[in-house]
Structure 1
Amino acid sequence: MGIGAVLSSIIAIVIALALVLGMAWGVIWLLKKVQDRQLAAGAGGEDAQPIRFLRSMPLGQRERVVLIEARGETMLVGVTAGSITLLARWPGGTPLPAEATLRSL
């Protein structure tokens, strides 16, 4: 077997791998879009506001404090391996206190 045959086989394998990875990425992207659209429709239509992740601060190996926004409210939640706890809540339009912005991130 000549060097040309080996080189062409390697190129064919690389092209096939790139094609498969590109198709997998496209399917995952499409599924995410369909799932987001279905979740929005189930939550009250296209005008429903999704949950937005704002910031996170780790407190330990499995514990963290997370700042999220859902339906116009900003919430500070504590997340551990066994539970999620609401720590503070700010209604929509209310500015967050300076200590709640997690500037140390």
Structure 2
Amino acid sequence: MGIGAVLSSILAIVVALALVLGMAWGVIWLLKKLQDRQLGVAANGESEAPIRFLRSMPLGQRERVVLIEARGETMLVGVTAGSVTLLARWPEGQIPPKPLPAQVRF
């Protein structure tokens, strides 16, 4: 096997890899665009969706507390495997209180 055959084989592998990576990037880009359309994100990147995720904090394996904003109103929601419960609500213009500083335990 000559050096030309080895170089052509390596070139074929590099071209095939570039083609596969390009196709994967294209599929990911297309899926992101379709997902954004389903979530209501405009072409300019601005969100048209009425709900915006702010923060989340896990409380257990399947339980968490989620802070969301819906139409200007901020809500604290408890999410478990079987239900979603509104825990607190702040009207538009009010912000949730800052957390208390952590206490040091000895």
What TM-score, normalized to structure 1?
A: 0.63
**Structure that is richer in helix per residue:** 1
- The count of corresponding residues between Structure 1 and Structure 2 is 98
Structure with larger Rg: 2
Query: CA 1:83–1:21 in 2, change beyond 3 Å: closer, same or farther?
Result: farther
Once residues 6 and 86 of structure 1 are traced to their aligned partners in structure 2, the CA distance between those partners, rounded to angstroms, is 66
In structure 2, list runs of 5 or more residues that go unmatched: none
In structure 1, list runs of 5 or more residues that go unmatched: none
Q: Percent identity, please.
A: 82
Higher RCO by CA contacts (8 Å cutoff, separation 6 or greater): 1
Q: Deviations over 1:38-92 (max 9, x none)?
A: 5539xxxx88344322111111122211112222121211222222222222222
The aligned counterpart of 1:95 is 95
Mapping of 1:1-105 within 5 angstroms?
1=1, 5-6=5-6, 8-37=8-37, 39-40=39-40, 48-99=48-99
What TM-score, normalized to structure 2?
A: 0.62
